[in-house]
Amino acid sequence: MITAPAMTFREWTGPLTADLVLEPAKFGLGQVPSHLVPDATAKAICGFCSTGCGLKIHLKDGEAINLTPDPDYPVNFGSACPKGWEALSVLDAPDRATMPLLHGKPVDWDTALRFFCDNMRRILDQHGPGAAAFLSTGQIMFEEMALLGALAKFGMGMLHGDGNTRQCMATAVAAYKESFGFDAPPFTYADFEESDVLVFIGANPCIAHPIMWQRVLRNKRSPEIIVIDPRTTETSMAATRHYAIKPKSDLALLYGLAHLIIRDGGLDPAFIEAHTNGFEEFAAFAAGFAPERVSAETGISIERLIFLSKTIISGKPRVSFWWTMGINQGHQATRTAQAIINLALMTGNIGKPGTGANSITGQCNAMGSRLFSNTTNLLGGHDFRDAMHREKIAHATGIPVERIPGQPSLAYDQIIQAADEGTVKAIWFVATNPSHSWVDQNEMNRILDKLDFLVVQDMYCSTETAKRAHLVLPAAGWGEKEGCFINSERRIGHSPKVRRAPGQALADFHIFRLIAQYWGCGELLREWSSPEAIFRILQRCSENQPCDITGIHGYEMVRQSGGVQWPLTADQASTFQASSWKERRLFEDGRFFTSDQRAKFVFEAPEAPPEQCSAEYPFILMTGRGTSAQWHTETRTGKSAILEKMTPAELMLDLHPADAVTLGVRDGGKVRVVTKRGELTTKVRLTSCVKPGEVYLPMHDPRVNQLTHASFDPHSRQPSYKHSAVRIESTH
């Protein structure tokens, strides 16, 4: 049977999300075990996505027994998506790492820590500070990230460290830094509710950020909701208009819109004149993107292009632009993000309610990683190469300045390349699973298997990466340790410890502290003695930066106030009414973080994606989110029986019915998907959600990244997951 689009309980998660908000018990969520009666609650922030929902954890005798969404938290107002509801149950999985594992065999912590330090020291001593690296995550608390960065770089003398945020947010970082002068997402979630026109580009919040979508649904201004996406997604079905562009023609489309806005008088000349640089050069460049050219390159008719530009300049005052992975994961991702920023700047849609060029973050603490992981940026958004910045951080942290390296780390892909070349010999992975999630997976695994020393520190011992490790260090998970996350709207939220980690698993914080002791740099990090003590150090690091948080009076203030958005300087905290810093957006005064306080128009000619279709590989494969019940490599969400019921039972390739006829494939039949790098066999779902010549696979299946092509944006070094050339073969 052919359906267009195919929608079943398992596959159609937009309405399901709405139902969950209204009737969670219908799906078995939020039920308290009958033999337990909660006697207290603790407030926490969800540890999955960057929405940063507030959760109330119900306690019995000091241990968590259940949770419900927090009706008072200014992010989610009592709603949660399936992942949040199930945040506790995934902690009880049988494959939790409960003991250190050395070559797969359980050992005590003393043996594990000695082995770790002996091997890391041997490699660093023999081959220099670039020979060992850490690759961490946007999933742990930012105090832990900062401690890891300080321990590895200042204590152990490593030069290189990066995080899996390179796979999701590096593009937004690079784009904002160049255009605004600092990595500064300008919005607050109230902007979803206060916009007249919302333009989602490469974003599917219905399933990827369901609670943000709930905020859109609270908008009372009857907004126009525009989705620009090659696929017919859940969000595009709920939108007022969908622009199904050709894959990776987004940059041409955005420049074409700029052309039309200039042509049709949609500019805000006063804003451009007062607050930006480079517009004239950009206008001359955009003149080359006439509608005829853009229509041919994007597949969107001239009439629809003009309608879209007129919607943006319609005279309705508030237009907001939102993007996620469809933009960030591309071969020209940074310039594409900046093309969105250009549209907001030229129409004056920034710094006002319901406006903005707004990157939605991915992981729960991606923003924390961007500011405080001490990887490519020195703590607090500083620059390793700047001697004054190093002096400032030395003063703020008490670390001798000569221990702070004068160069930033290699990026993630460059670390992996160096491992292939043999200059990086040891990698320490923390709370991430690249054997599943990195592009061109077979190549990644070949390189990992060459390492002299591979360490994985994780909650689960069963991840694809942990199985390859020489040493596994068992870590506590969300709810089993304390610290803070920073969400997409720059809101710092606190999450407490509400249960004990299983076996001998320890909080990442404690593992780092133990390593410092065994390494012999415990005294250097003496002040980093608790998560809140680290929070205090990081406040000092943030002083006078755009992300200044010196006005926060510790964890208690974060807990009591429903989170605090950065910045909150000491001056602001003493002069603002508390109610005035509950919801804040940046750039209300039109002053940006560049040296002359002007935002910059940045642009570059579009180029064809690196891997083109051919007679041998005639289809374009795009990958991305499956359902709202799944999270990345499903290390956690795959452990919930309830979430399992909400996800497809097996991998399904989305294929257009017209292509199925040509290939002789039926709905539910099996095909082989083949690239130059690898192949897999999967069932087929026939659907007009994809166009002829394009196919889609969810990223959660561990085999999918055998297919993806390893290309990287040259500015952000973020991999592209959205344009691989594949062949489809019927298995009959």
Q: What percentage of the chain's residues is helix, strand, coil (to nearest 5)?
A: 35, 20, 45
In DSSP terms, 599 is beta-bridged to 276
Closest CB to ligand SF4 among 362 and 474? 362
Q: Are strands 483-486 and 679-686 parallel, antiparallel or unpaired?
A: unpaired
Q: Does 484 bind ligand SF4 (CB under 6 A)?
A: no
Considering only residues 189 through 228, tell me which ones interact with ligand SF4, judged by CB under 6 A: 209-211
By CB under 6 A, how many residues form the interface with ligand SF4? 14
The reply to whether 49 sits near ligand SF4 by the rule CB under 6 A is yes
Residue 460, beta-bridge partner list: 96
Q: How far is the CB of 483 from ligand SF4 (least distance, A)?
A: 16
Q: Does 48 bind ligand SF4 (CB under 6 A)?
A: yes
Q: Does 141 bind ligand SF4 (CB under 6 A)?
A: no
Buried-state track 103-125, b at ≥16 Cβ within 10 A, e below 16: eeebbebeebbebbbebbebbbe
User: In the bound complex, what is the minimum distance in angstroms from residue 585's beta carbon to ligand SF4?
Assistant: 20
Helix (H) or strand (E) holding 619: strand 619-624
Which residue in this structure is represented by tokens 């080359």? 288
**Taking a C-beta distance cutoff of 8 angstroms, is the pair 231, 696 a contact?**
yes
In whole angstroms, the minimum distance from the beta carbon of 81 to ligand SF4 comes to: 3
* Cα–Cα dist 64/546, whole Å: 37
Q: Which residue has 């041998």 as its token pair?
A: 616
| Cβ at position 243, least distance to ligand SF4 in Å | 26
- Residue 84 lies near ligand SF4 (rule: CB under 6 A): yes
Which of 161, 362 has the CB closer to ligand SF4?
Answer: 362
| C-alpha span between 194 and 318 (Å, rounded) | 8
Among 71, 64, 72, CA closest to 39 = 64
Q: How far is the CB of 210 from ligand SF4 (least distance, A)?
A: 5
- Which one of 9-17, 77-85, 426-434, 712-720 is the stretch in contact with ligand SF4 (CB under 6 A)? 77-85
Q: Is 660 in the site for ligand SF4 (CB under 6 A)?
A: no
Calpha distance 170→717 (Å, rounded)? 7
Per CB under 6 A, the segment of 42-50, 270-278, 544-552, 693-701 that binds ligand SF4 is 42-50
Q: Shortest Cβ distance from residue 214 to ligand SF4 (Å)? A: 9
| Using rule CB under 6 A, residue 643 touches ligand SF4 | no
Exactly one of 52, 230, 348, 719 binds ligand SF4 (CB under 6 A); that residue is 52
H-assigned helices in 438-553: 441-448, 508-519, 531-542
81 lies in the site for ligand SF4, by CB under 6 A: yes
CA gap 98, 477 in Å, rounded: 12
Asked whether the beta carbons of 42 and 59 are under 8 A apart, the reply is yes
**Position 366 contacts ligand SF4 (CB under 6 A):** no
| Residue 83 in contact with ligand SF4, rule: CB under 6 A | yes
Residues 160 and 453: beta-carbon distance below 8 Å: no
Find the shortest distance in angstroms from Cβ 119 to ligand SF4: 36
Taking CB under 6 A as the binding criterion, the range among 78-86, 317-325, 410-418, 573-581 that sits at the site for ligand SF4 is 78-86
- Neighbour tally for 10: CB within 10 Å: 16
Q: Which of 21, 65, 67, 80 binds ligand SF4 (CB under 6 A)?
A: 80
Query: Which of 29, 44, 53, 507 forms a contact with ligand SF4 (CB under 6 A)?
Result: 53
Which residues, 6 or more positions from 506, have their beta carbon under 8 angstroms from its beta carbon? 109, 474, 475, 476, 514
For the CB of residue 76, give the shortest distance to ligand SF4 in the complex, in Å: 6
Q: Which residue is nearest to ligand SF4 (CB)?
A: 84
Single-letter amino acid, residue 157: G
655 near ligand SF4, rule: CB under 6 A: no
Q: Give the CA count within 13 Å in the CB-facing half-sphere of 193.
A: 13
Q: Is 73 in the site for ligand SF4 (CB under 6 A)?
A: no
**CA–CA distance, 401 with 395 (Å, rounded to integer):** 8
Nearest-approach distance from CB 213 to ligand SF4, in angstroms? 9
Q: Is 46 in the site for ligand SF4 (CB under 6 A)?
A: yes
Min CB(18)–ligand SF4 separation in Å: 13
Specify the residue, 477 or 546, whose C-beta has the smaller distance to ligand SF4.
Answer: 477
Which stretch in 48-56, 250-258, 633-641, 696-704 sits in contact with ligand SF4 by CB under 6 A?
Answer: 48-56
Q: Which is nearer to ligand SF4, 214 or 718 (CB)?
A: 214
Q: Does 249 bind ligand SF4 (CB under 6 A)?
A: no
- 51, 164, 377, 724: which one binds ligand SF4 (CB under 6 A): 51
State the residue for tokens 């943000």.
212
Q: How many CB atoms lie within 10 A of CB 131?
A: 24
Q: d(Cα 624, Cα 324) in Å, to the nearest integer? A: 11
CB of 633 to ligand SF4, least distance (A): 15
Tokens of 163: 């995080």
H helices present in 553-699, as ranges: 554-560, 570-575, 641-645, 657-663
Establish whether the linkage from the previous residue to 317 is cis, with ω within 30° of 0: no
Q: Which residues bind ligand SF4 (CB under 6 A)?
A: 46, 48-49, 51-53, 76, 80-81, 83-84, 209-211
